[in-house]
């Protein structure tokens, strides 16, 4: 009799313990909305949908993950949506550089501090590309040609206006003290094709946007806007791989730029919520699919969380402010 009472008591205590443990580690109880502040088919969208596919395939989450595009106002729509979802831990957002550039250029009431940083997944590289039929083999060839041409007659194609591509263009202009005419397009793929068709003279496409044309012998990479060459040494064309592209700095173009591919949450997320997603993304990063994806886009795979991540974002914000101010891209209030 006594023993059975004891047993019941023990079981009850044990049950409490396990439930206590379960409630300590937060888990989503509803489908998680994964906001993409860009259109379908773009770089951020591809990454989000790859993650969604990985999460589904490896059953990394008990609840489904749902990708939603909110691209209005250069992504402002998506940021404001997450900002207003203060108490909703079932909403995360993937960001690109528009995290900084959109509020600065458009004046929408948003700052990255309105969100809770979760993790940096990767950094996207930028490469200076020219048409392979043109005689420019090195950065110097191209820079000389730009300097020789009347200012503004050389055309630089890029994605969006007053965003990363144009910021880089302005920095390059400053470094070589000449002028391009910057022509904004809607998407990176289109930019690369415009370069193939010789409608622009150069671009600063991300690797993933232009690699197909490089392999097809239509485009030529001149340099990468990073502190060190990219890590992927697999040959892509004529025995040359990403690793063989020199840094722009080593070629006399002093500019470094990497684009954030990071995850943020709503402003009132608790540590439990953030920890859950950090663990989730650690698992995502460990899958072979993710590694293939990183390789295909020659991404810089730096992974940061917590204070390191926040510090990095803060530094980038200051840098963007300076760069955009110098370029005259700041919103004049509207």
Q: Of residues 158, 160, 207, 229, which one binds another protein by CB under 8 A?
A: 160
CA distance 124 to 52: 19
Strand partners, 154: 180
* Of residues 49-68, those binding another protein (CB under 8 A): 49-50, 52-54, 56-57, 64, 66-68
Instruction: Give buried/exposed letters for 10-39 (b at 16+ CB in 10 A, else e).
Output: eeeeeeeeeeeeeeeebebeeebbbbbbbe
Nearest approach, Cβ of 133 to another protein (angstroms)? 12
Stretch that binds another protein, among 137-145, 193-201, 224-232, 261-269 (CB under 8 A): 193-201
Q: How far is the CB of 165 from another protein (least distance, A)?
A: 11
For position 88 contacting another protein by CB under 8 A, the verdict is no
Residue (229 or 297) nearer to another protein, CB: 297
By beta-carbon proximity to another protein, the closer residue of 186 and 311 is 186
Angle at 99 between CA 102 and CA 72, to 5 degrees: 50
**Judged by CB under 8 A, does residue 285 bind another protein?**
no
Which residues, numbered 91-150, are part of the site for another protein (CB under 8 A)? Answer: 105-108
Helices (H), the chain: 2-24, 43-57, 76-84, 98-106, 139-148, 164-176, 188-196, 207-215, 271-285, 288-296, 306-327
Q: Is 184 in the site for another protein (CB under 8 A)?
A: yes
| Cα–Cα distance measured from residue 224 to residue 201, given in angstroms and rounded to the nearest whole number | 17
CB 124 to another protein: min, Å: 13
326 binds another protein (CB under 8 A): no
- Residue 298 CA to residue 296 CA, distance in Å, equals 6
Sign, Cα dihedral of 193, 296, 257, 127: negative
User: Would you count residue 183 as binding another protein (CB under 8 A)?
Assistant: yes
**For another protein, which is the closer residue by CB, 74 or 139?**
74
> Please, which of residues 10-49 interact with another protein by CB under 8 A?
29-31, 33, 39-42, 45-46, 49
Q: What is the largest CA-CA distance in the chain?
A: 99
In the bound state with another protein, the residue whose beta carbon lies nearer, of 211 and 313, is: 211
Which residue in the set 152, 227, 235, 252 belongs to the binding site for another protein (CB under 8 A)?
152
Which residues from 214-253 bind another protein, rule CB under 8 A? 215-218
Chain centre to alpha carbon of residue 266: 18
């Amino acid at each position: 009799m006594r023993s059975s009472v004891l047993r019941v008591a023990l079981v009850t205590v044990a049950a409490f313990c396990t439930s206590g443990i379960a409630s300590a580690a937060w888990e989503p109880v509803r489908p998680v909305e994964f906001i993409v502040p860009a259109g379908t088919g773009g770089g951020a969208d591809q990454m989000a949908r790859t993650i969604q596919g990985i999460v589904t395939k490896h059953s990394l989450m008990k609840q489904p993950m749902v990708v939603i595009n909110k691209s209005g106002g250069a992504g402002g729509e998506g940021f404001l949506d997450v900002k207003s979802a203060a108490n909703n831990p079932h909403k995360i957002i993937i960001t690109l550089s528009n995290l900084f550039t959109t509020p600065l250029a458009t004046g929408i009431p948003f700052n990255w501090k309105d969100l809770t940083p979760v993790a940096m997944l990767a950094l996207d590289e930028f490469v200076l590309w020219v048409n392979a039929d043109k005689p420019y083999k090195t950065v110097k060839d191209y820079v000389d040609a730009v300097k020789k041409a009347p200012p503004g007659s050389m055309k630089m194609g890029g994605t969006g206006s007053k965003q990363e591509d144009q910021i880089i263009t302005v920095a390059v202009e400053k470094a070589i003290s000449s002028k391009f005419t910057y022509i904004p397009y809607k998407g990176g793929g289109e930019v690369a094709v415009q370069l193939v068709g010789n409608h622009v003279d150069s671009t600063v496409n991300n690797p993933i946007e232009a690699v197909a044309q490089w392999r097809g012998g239509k485009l030529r990479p001149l340099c990468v806007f990073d502190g060190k060459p990219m890590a992927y040494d697999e040959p892509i064309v004529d025995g040359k791989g990403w690793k063989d592209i020199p840094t722009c700095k080593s070629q006399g173009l002093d500019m470094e730029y990497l684009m954030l591919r990071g995850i943020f949450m709503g402003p009132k997320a608790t540590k439990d919520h953030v920890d859950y997603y950090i663990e989730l993304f650690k698992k995502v990063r460990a899958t072979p699919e993710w590694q293939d994806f990183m390789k295909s886009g020659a991404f810089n795979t730096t992974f940061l969380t917590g204070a390191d991540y926040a510090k990095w974002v803060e530094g980038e914000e200051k840098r963007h402010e300076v760069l955009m101010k110098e370029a005259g891209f700041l919103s004049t209030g509207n």
